[in-house]
Amino acid sequence: MSRKLPLFKMKSIVKSSRVNRAWLNDHVNDPYVKQAQKEGYRARAAYKLKEIDETLHLIRPGHLVVDLGAAPGAWCQYVSRKLMPKTPTLPTTARAGSRIIALDILPMVAIDGVEIIQGDIGDLRVTALLAEQLQGQRADVVLSDMAPNLSGHGAVDAARIESLVELALDFALMHLKPDGALVAKVFHGSSYDDLFRRFQEGFGAVKRIKPKASRDKSAETYLVGLRPQFPHRHRLDGGVSPL
């Protein structure tokens, strides 16, 4: 027996299928999607990190890089190709000392040279595991492209986004080297000014960057904190240690 859908439901289905079609159209014609397919990147996001890195020269041979919210792995691929190139003509020292540690709630397919941890950055057992994985080393660069699944409730989503950035900031301030850097995705909205102020308190310098590969209509942008301020460094036991 066929049942008629109420008009408001019909309208919402038509509207969402129009939105989906528009998204698909944008996606198929997107030059970064085509370039990612050609160059074997898992996501167009690789070009956002590439532009940030080429502007600020953050990732260098020998570095230890931690990538938070790493799946499907395009940022890790970019870092791995830069720190651990496969070309036989390059000196093997290009690989020496470099490490990449990736964390995501979702499973991630292996990438050459990347140590993968699956877990939630908000879970203390997971951050302890991540700290253990550092094996007493400090990170040169912490990356966070983390984004929550959106619920559609503005206030709830803003709080989730803010909390992920704060977790990345706390991790970075605890584990970065004095000349290290944090690259974090933030969103323009109610918590932006607050997060920017927290970056200013935590770092010697803060850069804002909206890479070309980040869609104009997206509220996302990136904050890069340079030179963590150690008087504010938190110890793993919850205290604050002046260095």
Ligand X SMILES: C[S@@+](CC[C@H](N)C(=O)[O-])C[C@H]1O[C@@H](n2cnc3c(N)ncnc32)[C@H](O)[C@@H]1O
Nearer to ligand X, 5 or 110 (CB): 110
Q: Which of 147, 159, 209, 226 binds ligand X (CB under 6 A)?
A: 147
With binding defined as CB under 6 A, does residue 33 bind ligand X? no
Q: Report the nearest approach of ligand X to the CB of residue 3 (Å).
A: 37
**Per annotation, catalytic residue among 185, 207, 210, 212:** 185
Alpha-carbon span 123 to 28, nearest angstrom: 37
Question: Is residue 185 among the annotated active site residues?
Answer: yes
Footprint of ligand X on 151-210 (CB under 6 A): 164
Name the segment binding ligand X (CB under 6 A); options: 3-11, 65-73, 176-184, 196-204.
65-73
Contact 100, 110 (CB under 8 A): no
With binding defined as CB under 6 A, does residue 36 bind ligand X? no
Site string (93-112) toward ligand X, x via CB under 6 A? ----------xxxx------
Residue with the shortest CB distance to ligand X = 69
Nearer to ligand X, 7 or 106 (CB): 106
Q: For ligand X, how many residues bind (rule: CB under 6 A)?
A: 23
Catalytic sites, residue numbers: 185
